[in-house]
Amino acid sequence: MESAMQGPTQTPTRSAAYTPTDRTVPTRSADRAAYDKDLVHAILDEAYVCHLGFVRDGAPVVLPTLYARVGERLYVHGSTGSRPLREAGQADPGLPVCLTVTHVDGLVLARSAFHHSINYRSVVVHGVAHDVTDPEEKRQALDALVDHVVPGRSADSRPANKKELAATAVIRLDLDEVSAKLRTGGANDEPEDLALPHWAGVVPLRKGYDAPVANPDLAPGTELPDYLRAR
């Protein structure tokens, strides 16, 4: 079976780009890597959950978590009692992390087992996460985290109070050592396999939303907001 790291490549339009480093140039399929900032931002902004990796007692830990992008910074939040956030706050000069975001766009069926694959778009960010201590930056980051889930929503909810702010830790990761990787297009079989009778192509994954489900305890007369009707 073809590795998800093999197959046709799409070269994005060039805009400002991140500088490749040893860690962001893959050993395999380097032609599939991209450093274009607009492309990286678009992949990051479309997903809801990232996978945050860090090292604890010498072993890797990978946890799913919410995040948001503000310009060239990513923010991750959680309870002040959660281990990675506590460790980022305690570590000096910060906690080394790898933050990865992946979209699965389609299943690629080839005539050969080897060339089966997945169409995907991913971003990998290497860096050091720092505890956000500035109150104004922390407040903006928390708004961004709500707005990342539903754009505009932070203005239509009760802001965090002092107790909630104190219970929430926010860490920042700068977009500096960053790469995107993507596979698009159909199956990429060997020439001698093209005449085989097996169907080949792509099954796209459908992305979308089902109708919103209101909490049963809504205040009387509360209407579904327009920003949710549009979905």
Contacts to a copy of itself from residues 29-88, by CB under 8 A: 48-49, 51-55, 58-66, 77-79, 81-83
Q: Half-sphere exposure of residue 54, counting CA atoms within 13 Å on the CB side? A: 23
How far is 34 from 188, CA to CA, in rounded Å?
20
- Min dist CB 188 to a copy of itself, Å, is 9
Q: How many residues line the site for a copy of itself (CB under 8 A)?
A: 104
Binding to a copy of itself by residue 222, rule CB under 8 A? yes
Instruction: Kindly state whether residue 25 participates in binding a copy of itself, applying the rule CB under 8 A.
Output: no
What is the C-alpha separation between 48 and 148, in angstroms, rounded?
A: 7
End-to-end CA distance of the chain: 37
Q: How far is the CB of 221 from a copy of itself (least distance, A)?
A: 8
Closer to a copy of itself by Cβ: residue 92 or 223: 223
Q: Give the nearest distance from C-beta 169 to a copy of itself in angstroms.
A: 9
Amino acid found at 115: H
Site residues for a copy of itself, 148-167, by CB under 8 A, read 149-150, 153-154, 156-161, 164
What 8-state DSSP symbol labels residue 219? P
- Give residues 93-132 in contact with a copy of itself (rule: CB under 8 A): 96-100, 102, 104, 107, 109-114, 116-118, 120, 122, 124, 126
Per CB under 8 A, 140 contacts a copy of itself: no
Q: Which of 43, 88, 132, 146 binds a copy of itself (CB under 8 A)?
A: 146
Q: Which is nearer to a copy of itself, 14 or 198 (CB)?
A: 198
Residue 40 contacts residue 46 (beta carbons within 8 Å) = no
What is the per-residue binding string for a copy of itself in 177-206, x denoting contact by CB under 8 A?
Answer: ---------xx-----xxxxxxxxxxxxxx
For residue 221, which amino acid is it?
A: G
- Within 10 Å of residue 58's Cβ, how many Cβ atoms? 5
- Cα→Cα distances 104→11, 43, 114, 183, Å: 18, 11, 19, 10
CA atoms within 13 A on the CB side of 62: 7
Residue 190, both tokens: 């060997």
